[in-house]
Amino acid sequence: MSFTLRPMTETDWSAWLDIDEEAFGSAVPPHRREQYRAVTEFDRSLGAFDGDLLVGTAGVCSFTMTVPGGPIPVAGVTSVGVLPSHRRRGILSALMTRQLADIRDRGESVAALYAAEAAIYGRFGYGRAADTMFFDIPRHGATLAAHAPDDPALRLRVVRPADARDVFEKIFESVLGSRPGLYARTAARWDRVLSDHDADQRGAGPLRAVVVEDDGGPRGYALFRIRPGATPHDVPDGELRLHELFALDPEAYALLWRHVLDRDLVARIRAAARPVDDPLIHMLAEPRHLNAGWLDDLWIRLVDVGRALASRAYSAPVDVVIEVADPVCPWNEGRVRLTAGPSGVRCVPTGDPAEVSLPVTALGSAYLGGRPLTPLRSAGLVREARAGAVRELSTAMSWEPAPWAGLVF
């Protein structure tokens, strides 16, 4: 079919939201429409038009995201959708390909997204780079082990979320650089985090918050909701739904969890979107009561392989020639030599024989340090021409703590 691509204008906004509702099968309530608008960058929101009809969308949020070694600019891909009436006509491929070229032209070397359908984005070079866990903890199994950190100088303070926003922002800014995948939040994004309309509550009541502090000031916070309930015999059966929990140190972190796990009238605690190395895994006295599940979090795409690899730090020295396959972004095709050591990091084109050959998706998966390359070799995605080269590269790209963004954009 014939269609044109162009950036969205404000006059296209209503049609953009209509596509969002149709593509994702959801209704966007009025207050959330305004929140979406506040975080939308119109000049980075690409539309596909069939005549005057908007039939496909793909947006970008400009982020500063933590990667191993520090922050870099990252393009946060969002609102990717095509009208059901126009699927299977090449619109998605055209949008994604054009978007990647635009990202490169803006000087960003990395793109990130949350995948509504995991099978889609590998076609465009995105690799599953970060994972998340969810916990479903019964109150009767919510005791922390004796070794869990403790600080008698700490105290808890129940606060109204709207009144403590500056506290949350300050704590989050302090932890932002501690974990790959976390990204800086604008005022508009904080508005969404703290939004408390009926549609946000989903039957779980108003947003609640607790801050942990000492005489020096706040050291952590938790945001949650409580869905009240009781059994037919009037036994409390409430559910606490944890949204966020961040702390500056292990003692504050443990105290926040003690509070969350010990609320009155609550029978279970459901914590969505937790990092896969959450210390709670090792603090709960009976870890089987975590009832944990595992999902994908961030997907990463190296838009400019050389610049992206040179923009992060490495956990061990490495000197390896990498051959990259990237049919979607042909400027990445070819071989580069990655060298990292005491003198710094360099990644430059080379004519030397390849020692590791892989698709750009594999590099995206490994980029934040949470997904080793050696299993990808066993899966047939990575090839090795020099014995030990894959392990060398995988070890160098590994990082602690595990990557995690924890907040869908």
Residues of the chain with pLDDT under 50: none
Residue 286 CA, distance from chain mean position: 28
324 Cβ partners below 8 Å, 6+ apart?
Answer: 305, 332, 333, 334, 335, 336, 358, 359, 360, 363
Asked whether 236 and 266 are in contact (CB, 8 A), the reply is yes
378, with CB counted inside 10 A (0-12, 13-18, 19+), is exposed
367, with CB counted inside 10 A (0-12, 13-18, 19+), is buried
pLDDT of residue 1: 64
Whole-number Å distance between alpha carbons of 193 and 39: 12
Strand partners, 322: 336, 356
pLDDT tens, position by position, 296-345: 999 999 999 999 999 999 999 999 999 999 999 999 999 999 999 999 99
pLDDT of residue 26: 87
Closest by CA to 240, choosing from 261, 254, 258, is 261
Amino acid at 256: L
Estimate the crossing angle of helix 30-39 against helix 13-24, to 10 degrees. Answer: 110
Q: What is the DSSP letter of 145?
A: P
pLDDT tens, position by position, 185-211: 999 999 999 999 999 999 999 999 999
Strand partners, 136: 270
Strand partners, 294: 133
pLDDT of residue 2: 87
Radius of gyration of the chain (CA): 23
